[in-house]
Amino acid sequence: MAEVLVITPVKNSLETTLDTARAIASSTVGVRHIIFNDFSTEETKAGLVGNQLAIGYDLIHLEELTDHPSPNYKLVLQRAQKMANEASLPLLVIESDVVVQENTISDLLAFQKANAKSGLVGSVTVDDKGVVNFPYLKFKGVKESVIDTARSLSFCCTLFSRDFLESYDFVGLDEAKDWYDTFISKKSIELGFKNHVLMNAPVWHRPHASRPWKQLKYSNPLKYYFLKFWKGMDKI
């Protein structure tokens, strides 16, 4: 029986997505994992369909629900919240450039159950050598196992409590934005919840592997900022 609804929004990057899905399927707790395919290429779509039964995830193609161009994070969050609330489950976002450990999800759930006012709880991200990396570089060198933070949590691997999901309706998310990590983190605090990052439940993160164009931030920053500001991409 599923203890949590896990969602993974996907835009291409098939191999990292399958790595993510396999890791989730190996978790020590029961999960329902849904991959939201956000207008990926036909090749990626075929790969997701072809591996669905072997790995064990549900698959939703957003092209069947909307003609709004990718990214469709708002629609994904709204659908996922409705499903989680109907099933009386917490919601866990694990993005397609993240690989969890077998105990990651159980550790997140156990922490949230032990902390009644938990709104969001995220796993710290690390590289393949176990060193804290983007987007949690601000916590690099921290010795505490748990960080109580009022700063925004990345949705790389973040658990939303049932109480928070029932307190704020994602229908109210701003249509003009592409990503909602910062807004939802702040909303959790505004509603009287606490946000935490677990330093003792790290996940492997390959930054921007799920959105390859963002690698331009490092290889060609002029082109990256042109796309970000002139083309209106990556609105936070």
Band the pLDDT of 194: cuts 50, 70, 90.
Answer: very high
Q: Which residue has the tokens 């082109």?
A: 223
HSE, CB side, 13 Å, CA atoms: give it for residue 84: 29
Q: How far apart are CA 26 and CA 155, in angstroms?
A: 20
* Residue 62 DSSP one-character state: G
Q: What does the pLDDT look like over 13-29, one tens digit per residue?
A: 999 999 999 999 999 99
**pLDDT at residue 195 in the model:** 98
**Amino acid found at 222:** L
208 pLDDT more than 70: no
Q: Which residue has the tokens 């939201």?
A: 36
Tokens standing for residue 10: 């996907």
70 pLDDT more than 60: yes
236 pLDDT more than 50: no
Band the pLDDT of 47: cuts 50, 70, 90.
Answer: very high
Q: How far is CA 5 from CA 43, 66, 75, 87, in A?
A: 27, 22, 16, 9
**pLDDT at residue 169 in the model:** 98
Mean pLDDT of the chain: 91
Q: How far apart are CA 154 and CA 212, in angstroms?
A: 18
Band the pLDDT of 183: cuts 50, 70, 90.
Answer: very high
The helix/strand count (H/E) of the chain reads as 8, 9
Looking only at the bridges linking them, the beta strands covering 146-149 and 98-99 are unpaired
User: Which tops the pLDDT comparison, 91 or 211?
Assistant: 91
Q: How far apart are CA 80 and CA 5, in angstroms?
A: 8
232 pLDDT more than 60: no
**pLDDT at residue 223 in the model:** 54
User: Which tops the pLDDT comparison, 69 or 226?
Assistant: 69
**pLDDT at residue 178 in the model:** 87
**pLDDT at residue 207 in the model:** 84
User: What angle is formed at CA 143 by the lines to CA 137 and CA 144, rounded to 5 degrees?
Assistant: 100
Q: How far apart are CA 95 and CA 204, in angstroms?
A: 11
Query: What percent of the chain lies above the pLDDT cut of 70?
Result: 88
Rounding to the nearest 10 degrees, give the CA dihedral for residues 113, 102, 151, 162: -30
228 pLDDT more than 70: no
User: Which tops the pLDDT comparison, 33 or 151?
Assistant: 33
